[in-house]
Amino acid sequence: MPMIDLTLPAGVLDRATSGQLADDLLAILLRWEGAPPTTEAASLAWAFIHVVDEVRVGHDPTARAHYRIGIRTPAGALDDRRRAGLVAEVTDRVLVAEGSTSTVEDRARVWVILDEVADGGWGAGGRVWRFTDIAAYVTGRSPVP
């Protein structure tokens, strides 16, 4: 049940580009989690796009766009190697969508915040989902969404 909150300043990406970026980030996240390429796995991966009027850095409006990508995954879904790969690939994909290069300065404008949801901390469909429930659903061993 991975979730992404993509926060970006207004006017930086058009609606089609931000939508494609969100879709790409979900695919990247599912791959780094090791989720199977099933419609069930994709149905549990959601992205929310938040467009904000202004981003301030050091008490001033920024001249260049800054991005915040919050990613929630079940606890244990990512080890240190996967976290590092996910953060690097998400950062690069955001910069590609913006049309920027991957310089140190550009990469510093993209912050990826990883949150792990404790087992039993997901709720959907009026019930608690444990990691085993999620795994059973995405692999087709359980029909309950």
Q: Which run of H or E residues covers position 85?
A: helix 80-98
* Residue that the structure tokens 């989690």 belong to: 33
CA dist 87 and 25 (Å) reads 10
CA dist 130 and 127 (Å) reads 10
Quick one: what percent of the chain has pLDDT higher than 70? 96
Task: Look up the pTM and report it.
Answer: 0.90
pLDDT at site 21: 98
pLDDT digits (tens, 9 = 90+) for 17-49: 999 999 999 999 999 999 988 888 998 999 999
* Residue that the structure tokens 């913006």 belong to: 98
Q: How confident is the model at residue 79 (pLDDT cuts 50, 70, 90)?
A: very high
On whether the CB atoms of residues 72 and 113 are closer than 8 A, the answer is: no
Residue 61 has pLDDT above 90, yes or no: no
The pair of structure tokens assigned to 122 is 């997901």
In order of their start, the domains of the chain are 3-138 (3.30.429.10)
